[in-house]
Structure 1
Amino acid sequence: MPLLEVINLKKIYTTRFGGNPVQALANVSFSIDQGEYVAIMGESGSGKTTLLNIIAALDKPTGGDVLLNGKSITSIGEMEISAFRRDNLGFVFQDFNLLDTFSIEDNILLPLVLAGKRYNEMIGRLKAIAEKLKIADILMKYPYEVSGGQKQRTAVARALITRPQLILADEPTGLLDSHTTEGLLKLFAEINDDGQTILMVTHSIKAASHAKRVLFIKDGEVYHQLYKASLSDEQMYQRISDTLTMIATGGARGE
């Protein structure tokens, strides 16, 4: 059974004043297996952010369903949804979403504090993750005292510390320079090699070229997909670039 199943997903937005409805998602279906690393690409307005928000249980679909390990995300009640997200999903955002009044350590531990974990368990998890992500020496600093790359590693640590089934990354390299981007993408590859499932939305061909599969969204549908298989990052980069050109010029659909 796949870890994540997106089934005939539809999303239609209506305005408060009776304007024409906007179809953000038309009929999206795909699945992700445990341990996959998948990127979603598409032009602005293609529906990829709406798709990510529904998978993250931040929005409700008009039709269809999303299953995580066979459990319907869309049917979870409002009282349980925050705990479900905290226990099953890890989030990495473009703008880090760190609290400046909290130390790096406290930012990372916050999801475990909210989950009521014991202090010894929290510190044990923190030590292992901080060493792996090479941020052990900045734990007592505050977000405004560290670099963009260190902030993003902190955000990744916060996402990982709950041991989520799925990490959702929304433009994670968007605010990083090229050198820091390379480091973050290498880190994502390492945690994926450790078995962590990752779903990333990105405009960056470079970021997507590190994923093992790329889904292309156009007009609210999965228009095309690429598998990396034995391709190098450079070869995958070229394949993605060619595919984006094909989609922009109305080329054929399919795998």
Structure 2
Amino acid sequence: MTVLEVENLKKIYRPRFGGNQVQALSKVTFSVEEGEYVAIMGESGSGKTTLLNMLAALDKPTEGEVYLDGKPLSAIREKDLSKFRRDHLGFVFQDFNLLDTFNLKDNILLPLVLQGVDYRKMNVRMMPIVKELGIAGLLEKYPYEVSGGQKQRAAVARALITDPRLILADEPTGALDSKSTDELLGVFERINQSGQTILMVTHSVKAASKAGRVLFIKDGEVFHQVYKGEQTDEQFYQNISATLTMLATGGERQ
């Protein structure tokens, strides 16, 4: 089943007070199937962040459409967008986006509070997630009292708590050390193996090598893609590295 479908997405930024317009995306088309783990890579300025904002309904395309479970995002009324994102999407950011005035438990439960879920049901939903992520003993601590890796695990728990159709991860390992990166990538692998669909934007070849498919964005277009298939992480790492080199040196589209 197709969870996410992107059709001929185009984004042009037009300055309010004259100047040259900037085309950030051009005819981007791809789909993500249920249970897939897809990484998006490309150089800075290639359009990755713009694309992610379109997928999250944080920005609107100039042309084209994004569908989630067959429903066009353009059909969602402006006043309903926040609720749509909260109910259907989970977000994991590079800088965690945790509230320092809330402990980890309250940060994780915040989406359920906003949904109006009965408090008695919140812990029932939360505990299996935090146990799986290894942070059950940290729930009363505040973000400034735990490590970067632990903060990111709390952010992942917050993303998972609503049982989203799609996890959107924006450079999730960017602020982590090597050990925390390995731990987080292990978490992503496990939640994907449990059936969670993940789309991750990353500069990290190591992070991308854990995905099942990598899309490469260049000059606002999907330039190429590679599938992991039966490759080991190391083989896929080398494949991704070679493709990035091709993009950087002006290689031909494949």
Return the TM-score normalized by structure 1. 0.99
Alpha carbons 1:104, 1:141 under 8 Å: kept: yes
Alpha carbons 1:93, 1:169 under 8 Å: kept: yes
Task: Name the residue aligned to 1:193.
Answer: 193
Matched, 1:134 2:134: yes
Task: Name the residue aligned to 2:111.
Answer: 111
Where do 1:145-184 residues align within 5 Å?
Answer: 145-184=145-184
Task: Name the residue aligned to 1:225.
Answer: 225
Unmatched tracts of structure 1, length 5 or more: none
User: Quick one: which amino acid aligns to residue 104 of structure 1?
Assistant: L
SS in 1 for 2:75: coil
Task: Name the residue aligned to 1:81.
Answer: 81
Matched, 1:143 2:143: yes
Q: Per-residue CA shift, 1:113-136, capped at 9, x if unaligned?
A: 000001121110111111111100
Where do 1:1-255 residues align within 5 Å?
Answer: 1-254=1-254
2:214 and 2:101 map into 1 onto residues whose CA distance is 37
1:75 and 1:42 map into 2 onto residues whose CA distance is 30
Q: Per-residue CA shift, 1:145-201, capped at 9, x if unaligned?
A: 000000000000000000000000000000000111000001100000000000000
Query: Where has structure 1 moved over 3 Å in runs of 4 or more?
Result: none
User: Quick one: which amino acid aligns to residue 80 of structure 2?
Assistant: E
Q: CA deviation at 1:17?
A: 1.3
User: Quick one: which amino acid aligns to residue 22 of structure 1?
Assistant: V
Alpha carbons 1:24, 1:46 under 8 Å: kept: yes
- Between the two proteins, what is the percent identity of the paired residues? 70
Alpha carbons 1:61, 1:74 under 8 Å: kept: no
SS in 2 for 1:152: helix
1:210 and 1:166 map into 2 onto residues whose CA distance is 17
Q: CA deviation at 1:250?
A: 1.5
SS in 2 for 1:3: strand
2:126 and 2:76 map into 1 onto residues whose CA distance is 30
1:248 and 1:28 map into 2 onto residues whose CA distance is 20
2:95 and 2:178 map into 1 onto residues whose CA distance is 16
2:252 and 2:174 map into 1 onto residues whose CA distance is 29
1:107 and 1:198 map into 2 onto residues whose CA distance is 21
